[in-house]
């Protein structure tokens, strides 16, 4: 497609291979303009799989694209994405926005100062099922909710990366669950945290309008076939439930199409860097429990 947005990819790890590179390369609203990663051999391999160039310097990637997608650890994203927006690029950002609140604020400020298009990869939010769930939940006159994300990353696998094993499920799984409860029950206004950083994180969220929700997060499940993450909402007019098995095949293409449309001057996603910062504020308030 002649008007497809040229998107450069920063990162060449498992998630970049599984999602970012194939989705961006598939189009039709985007094309993969190239790959840069801290490991040149990984960058070259991934770029070659999709017929795209691999760049030795990130500045060369910036020169070759209109927008940049990030698939790197949060602290790396915070610094490199700020450089991208200062170079005039739109940015597609992973969650969490940064490793800590200060980094998230610096990146969100850089995006705002540049007036850049930004969009967060809250993956399930782009699925048809999640959008229908949020609409239904809001109509239920909700008073409470429950979210769970119980996985087995401590046992190893491609996502048992150093930052995840250090920070635990709060920063990795928490953004997805908190974001969906925030969308369904009203903005989170307070958070109370308990438990163990890696084994079991328990959160109580207070929402605008008076609703309350509970969140359970863990990386310590013993089996390799956990139940999918799930969010439930309870209201005066009924209940609603969604789990990640309903993340349909169109979710990531929809995300890419909406990002491309925004780059071309269309509506900007509400799931932008400012929203990512607000979710990070909740994460930071909870994380105090595990660092004090």
Per-residue pLDDT of 266-286, as tens digits, reads: 999 999 999 999 999 999 999
The residue whose two tokens read 């990869």 is: 121
Give the tokens for residue 202.
Answer: 């328990």
Q: How far is CA 50 from CA 61, 70, 174, in A?
A: 16, 17, 32
User: What gap in Å lies between CA 187 and CA 53, rounded to an integer?
Assistant: 42
Neighbours of 203 (CB within 10 A): 26
pTM of structure: 0.95
Domain 128-246: CATH architecture, name and number where available: 2-Layer Sandwich (3.30)
Domain spanning 5-123+249-269: CATH superfamily: NAD(P)-binding Rossmann-like Domain (3.40.50.720)
pLDDT on residue 292: 59
The DSSP-derived string for 168-199 is -HHHHTHHHHHHHHHHHH--EEEEEEEEETTT
Could you tell me which residue, 42 or 224, shows the higher pLDDT? 42
Quick: pLDDT tens for 39-53.
Answer: 999 999 999 999 999
Pick left, alpha or beta for residue 186 (phi over 0 → left; psi -120 to 50 → alpha; otherwise beta): left
Quick: pLDDT tens for 116-142.
Answer: 999 999 999 999 999 999 999 999 999
Given a cut of 60, whether residue 222 has pLDDT beyond it is yes
CATH 3.40.50.720 location in the chain: 5-123+249-269
Q: Do 280 and 185 form a contact (C-beta atoms < 8 A)?
A: no
Which residues are registered as beta bridge partners of 220? none
CATH 3.30.360.10 location in the chain: 128-246
Quick: pLDDT tens for 40-93.
Answer: 999 999 999 999 999 999 999 999 999 999 999 999 999 999 999 999 999 999
The mean per-residue pLDDT over the stretch 193-217 comes to: 96
The mean per-residue pLDDT over the stretch 147-159 comes to: 85
Name the H helices within the chain: 14-15, 21-26, 40-49, 58-63, 74-86, 101-114, 128-139, 162-167, 169-172, 174-185, 251-263, 273-291
Residue 268, C-beta contacts closer than 8 angstroms, at least 6 positions apart: 117, 119, 262
Residue 279: name the closest of 93, 72, 95 by CA: 95
For a pLDDT cut of 90, what percent of the chain falls above it?
A: 85
pLDDT on residue 194: 96
Q: Do 234 and 168 form a contact (C-beta atoms < 8 A)?
A: no
Overall size of the chain counted in residues: 292
Quote helix, strand, coil % in the chain, to nearest 5: 45, 25, 30
Q: How far is CA 110 from CA 84, 91, 173, 286, 287, in A?
A: 10, 11, 25, 25, 24
Burial class of residue 241 (count of CB atoms within 10 Å of its CB; 0-12, 13-18, 19+) = middle
Given a cut of 70, whether residue 19 has pLDDT beyond it is yes
Given a cut of 50, whether residue 1 has pLDDT beyond it is no
Quick one: CA torsion of 59, 82, 20, 51, rounded to 10 degrees? -10
State how beta strands 200-207 and 212-218 pair: antiparallel
Give the tokens for residue 210.
Answer: 């008076």
Dihedral pair phi/psi, residue 212, rounded to 5°: -130, 145
Among 138-152, 155-169, 184-198, which stretch is predicted with the lowest mean pLDDT? 155-169
C-alpha of 260 from chain center: 17
């Amino acid at each position: 497609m002649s008007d497809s947005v040229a998107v450069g990819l920063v990162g060449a790890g498992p998630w970049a291979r599984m999602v970012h590179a194939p989705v961006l390369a598939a189009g039709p609203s985007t094309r993969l303009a190239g790959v840069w990663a801290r490991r040149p051999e990984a960058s070259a391999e991934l770029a070659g799989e999709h017929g795209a160039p691999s760049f030795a310097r990130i500045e060369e990637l910036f020169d070759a694209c209109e927008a940049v997608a990030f698939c790197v650890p949060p602290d790396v994203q915070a610094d490199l994405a700020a450089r991208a927006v200062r170079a005039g690029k739109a940015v597609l950002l992973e969650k969490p926005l940064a490793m800590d609140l200060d980094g998230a604020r610096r990146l969100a400020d850089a995006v705002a100062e540049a007036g850049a298009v930004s969009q967060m990869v809250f993956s399930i939010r782009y699925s048809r099922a999640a959008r229908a769930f949020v609409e239904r939940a809001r109509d239920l006159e909700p008073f409470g909710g429950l979210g769970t994300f119980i996985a087995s990353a401590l046992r190893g696998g491609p996502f048992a990366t150093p930052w995840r094993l250090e920070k635990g499920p709060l920063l990795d799984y928490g953004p997805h669950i908190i974001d969906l409860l925030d969308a369904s029950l009203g903005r989170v206004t307070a958070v109370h945290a308990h438990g163990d950083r890696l084994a079991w994180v328990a959160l109580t969220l207070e929402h605008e309008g008076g609703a309350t929700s509970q969140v359970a997060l863990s990386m310590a499940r013993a089996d390799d076939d956990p139940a999918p993450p799930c969010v439930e909402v309870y209201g005066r007019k009924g209940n609603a439930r969604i789990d990640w098995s309903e993340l349909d095949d169109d979710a990531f293409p929809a995300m890419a199409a909406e990002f491309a449309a925004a780059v071309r001057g269309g509506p900007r996603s509400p799931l932008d860097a400012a929203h990512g910062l607000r979710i990070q504020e909740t994460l930071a308030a909870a994380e105090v429990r595990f660092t004090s």
